[in-house]
């Protein structure tokens, strides 16, 4: 049973009198294994549908496969909650924040600030020309629809899984809160980079910077809201701009070393800037804590 009467930081909600490392490893295996199973299983369904309706596949990429991939990762939201509830007896909703629910006021303020800033960063990123696509307009419109309808949830799914469940699980393995935070950030960030399966050192640097920054923000603010905004806005605007500029999706999603140059690091200042702003705004209030019993598994 997790602690119940003491206010704790976000990453310490699953701490108990036992370290439960074996249970934590099981949680990580279930999370990442589940994500791969969702992607693989639903991907097969998408391929069968594409084959049946005669959709032309380009390097194994179609609008339906793109949509299914986004939906598969979005399933990490309920899956992460279920794992936390099953293995730790803690309400799944508590993954959202130390208050036990998603703080839409925090989300809204972050969205108002980060959306225009991210658009500016994307303009700089897309200043150099990208290979154009030969895809039909209806396919591009399907990609835009997917980006607007599913990509935000895909991004949120990764945040609930990696900056949520993994950060908490690993953060509960030590007696020292600060050491737990460091280990939680390291493990969640490395796993986040690994699941993206890139052979590019530069791209992996970007993944690590993004993961470390959003994990720190999650800990400091006591919730996933700002991390979700950062992730969702960045990914969604990128997909929409790709379609608007008719950029070949098979090139834009290529994560091999030969396809990546230093421009992939252009968004790094966005993450560093977000960390600095959060640090300044929370300088007086300090790290957000649970009210006390909000993380008790018996809370209705």
- The domain segmentation of the chain, as residue ranges, is 11-281
> Pick from 299, 278, 217: which is nearest to 11 by CA?
217
> What is the SS3 assignment for 61?
strand
pLDDT per position as a tens digit, 78-120? 999 999 999 999 999 999 999 999 999 999 999 999 999 999 9
Query: Are 163 and 214 spatial neighbours (Cβ–Cβ below 8 Å)?
Result: yes
Instruction: Tell me which residues of the chain have a pLDDT lower than 70.
Output: 1-5, 57, 59-60, 292-300
Question: What pLDDT is recorded for position 1?
Answer: 44
Question: What pLDDT is recorded for position 59?
Answer: 63
Question: What pLDDT is recorded for position 295?
Answer: 42
End-to-end CA separation in angstroms for the chain? 15
């Amino acid at each position: 049973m997790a602690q119940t009467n003491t206010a704790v930081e976000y990453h310490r909600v699953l701490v108990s009198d036992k370290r439960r490392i074996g249970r934590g490893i099981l949680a990580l295996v279930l999370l990442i294994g589940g994500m791969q199973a969702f992607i693989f299983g639903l991907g097969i369904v998408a391929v069968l549908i594409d084959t049946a309706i005669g959709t032309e596949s380009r390097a194994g990429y179609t609008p339906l496969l793109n949509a299914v991939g986004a939906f598969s990762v979005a399933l990490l939201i309920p899956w992460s909650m279920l794992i936390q509830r099953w293995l730790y007896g803690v309400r799944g909703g508590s993954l959202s924040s130390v208050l036990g629910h998603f703080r839409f006021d925090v989300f809204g303020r972050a969205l108002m600030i980060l959306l225009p800033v991210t658009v500016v960063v994307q303009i700089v990123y897309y200043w150099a020309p990208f290979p154009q696509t030969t895809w039909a307009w209806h396919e591009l419109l399907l990609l835009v629809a997917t980006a607007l309808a599913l990509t935000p949830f895909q991004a949120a799914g990764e945040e609930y899984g990696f900056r949520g469940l993994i950060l908490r699980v690993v953060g509960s393995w030590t007696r020292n809160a600060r050491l737990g935070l460091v280990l939680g950030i390291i493990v969640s960030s490395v796993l986040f980079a690994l699941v993206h399966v890139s052979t590019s050192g530069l791209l992996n640097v970007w993944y690590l910077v993004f993961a470390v920054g959003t994990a720190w923000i999650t800990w400091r603010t006591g919730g996933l809201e700002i991390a979700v905004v950062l992730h969702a806005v960045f990914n969604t605007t990128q997909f929409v701009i790709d379609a608007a500029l008719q950029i070949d999706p098979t090139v834009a999603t290529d994560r091999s070393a030969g396809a990546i140059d230093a421009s992939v690091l252009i968004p790094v200042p966005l993450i560093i800037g977000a960390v600095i702003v959060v640090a300044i705004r929370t300088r007086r209030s300090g790290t957000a804590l649970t009210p006390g019993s909000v993380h008790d598994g018996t809370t209705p």
